[in-house]
Amino acid sequence: MRFRFVLLVVTCICEFCGANTEENRPGPKTSPSEGLLPEVANRTGLFTPWSQWSRCVDCLQRRMKKCVSPKCEDSRIYEEKPCGKKRCKRKARQKNQFRVVHLDEDSSHLVRQAPSRAWSKWSSWSPCSENCRTQRIRICRKPGRCRKKQQEQTAYCYHDNSMCENYVLNLLDSQQNADEINRYQYHNEDLARRVSRRRRLQKRCGEPFRKNRMLKIIGGTESKKHKWPWHVAILNKYYEVFCGGTLIGPRWVLTASHCIRPYLRVRLNEHDLRARDGRELEMTVYKIFQHPKFNHKTVDNDIALLQLPRAVNLPIACLPNRSPRAQEVCSVMGWGKIRTSDTYGTHTLHEAKLPIVPPNVCRRSYRHFLITANMLCAGWPSGKSDTCAGDSGGGLICPFKRKSRLAYSVQGITSFGDGCGLRNKYGIYTTVFNYLKWIYYVMDHYS
């Protein structure tokens, strides 16, 4: 479905907005000028130049640009900033600021609508919530002329260098659905080279060094050292391994969206968490790309990409060139619990082999859960092997033949499940094949 979008970037002033310190953990240092607006303004040619700044009203000035291309129809971009007057600058310094991005087509007319005597002024934006949302209202002053007593306007919001900034800007960049308008046209001379390099790497992917719900490995065995060189340990701010991931490019780790935290580190070439052998590589994640349509309640679109600060010279897993097949036996690995009764996960990397379960069997097993087309089930009816707490984000790695050699692709991402190792309760995995377009888009444009 094609839709119009209105982007409103506002420097909001709020007494309580800065309270969320978790969103301001160390991360990529990106100034506002390096974010969204220059991409739209300077690279696409879809919009007119900025209009002149309006006069100062309530310590804010406003400017606008209009779409001049059929690709974005009658879309508009709005930007507001504090006025340069001394009292306005003093007011801005005294209070914290966050930015607002308006994408909601249903209420976009409210942004363009001229102030009316029938309505009060808009209230201030509410504090930016943990799910990156803010809202404001205005009250009807003349009931005979209004259909409702009040109007509400909801928008996305973010503080600079926060998790919400990644989420909102990724939401704008998302081209997951082919029917969505192409908001950005990157005329980048290096893009062709990036795509070519990525395709060359894919030809050598999936070959290890040697031949051979916040989820979880139940009933598995210890993996041979470096058998899965693309499996990555993800650490939180306390340097605890709490999720896994899969290296799919020299600077790219694929993981689950529910594993995302404001501050993340990764450790590559890891096997035994208690002992170092000198081959481990540990670094802070440079940038996070959480899928913009990740749903916390249904856990749909549970996929994310982590960009590393530099390229690593390690084997990478292949991305799938087909959808997963029922009864195909694949491998899962992780440092999660090996028994449901365990308090903590295992110190050494464990693996287990699991068959992919037909979709109808999966849905029967989870009648009270929404199993979407982006999810797949894997496991044994007996529950003898399963993923468990601490294995989330790791890959469901499936073998395939490349000429006469065996290689591996990541068909799934460990997402959630109902318990660990229970009969007829399978693990739920994100179907990677459904997200290839999004993955390639992010990797090609942000490498």
DSSP letters spanning 46-110? -BPPPPPPPPPBTTEEEEEEEB-STTSTT-EEEEEEE-SSHHHHHHHHHSEEEEEE---GGGHHH
Say what the pLDDT of residue 419 is: 57
> Considering the entire predicted model, what is its pTM?
0.57
Q: From CA 266, how far away is CA 243, in angstroms rounded? A: 10
Please, what is the angle between helix 191-203 and helix 436-446, to 10°? 120
* Residue with token string 């919400």: 164
* Residue with token string 């990677």: 432
For residue range 259-303, list pLDDT tens digits in order.
999 999 999 998 888 877 778 899 999 999 999 889 888 899 999
Tokens representing residue 428 in the block: 């739920």
Please, what is the angle between helix 163-173 and helix 436-446, to 10°? 110
Say what the pLDDT of residue 218 is: 41
Say what the pLDDT of residue 31 is: 28
Q: From CA 295, how far away is CA 374, in angstroms rounded? A: 12
Q: Are strands 350-357 and 221-222 parallel, antiparallel or unpaired?
A: antiparallel
How many CB atoms are closer than 10 A to CB 208? 17
What CA–CA distances, in Å, run from 241 to 60, 133, 234, 291? 46, 30, 6, 22
What count of Cα atoms within 13 Å lies in the side-chain half-sphere of residue 405? 11
Q: From CA 188, how far away is CA 147, in angstroms rounded? A: 49
For 336, residues 6+ apart whose C-beta sits below 8 A from its C-beta are 215, 216, 217, 345, 346, 350, 387, 388, 389, 390, 391, 392
Q: Are strands 350-357 and 329-334 parallel, antiparallel or unpaired?
A: antiparallel
Tokens representing residue 304 in the block: 């994310």
Q: Contact, 293 vs 301, CB < 8 A?
A: yes
* Residue with token string 């694949």: 330
* Residue with token string 């990764």: 266
* DSSP helix/strand/coil, 251: coil
Q: Which residues of the chain have pLDDT under 50?
A: 1-44, 94, 104-115, 174-189, 210-220, 341-343, 386-387, 389
Type of residue at 285: V
Q: From CA 447, how far away is CA 191, in angstroms rounded? A: 9
226: left (phi over 0), alpha (psi -120 to 50) or beta: left
Q: From CA 244, how far away is CA 413, in angstroms rounded? A: 9
Catalytically active residues, by annotation: 258, 302, 392
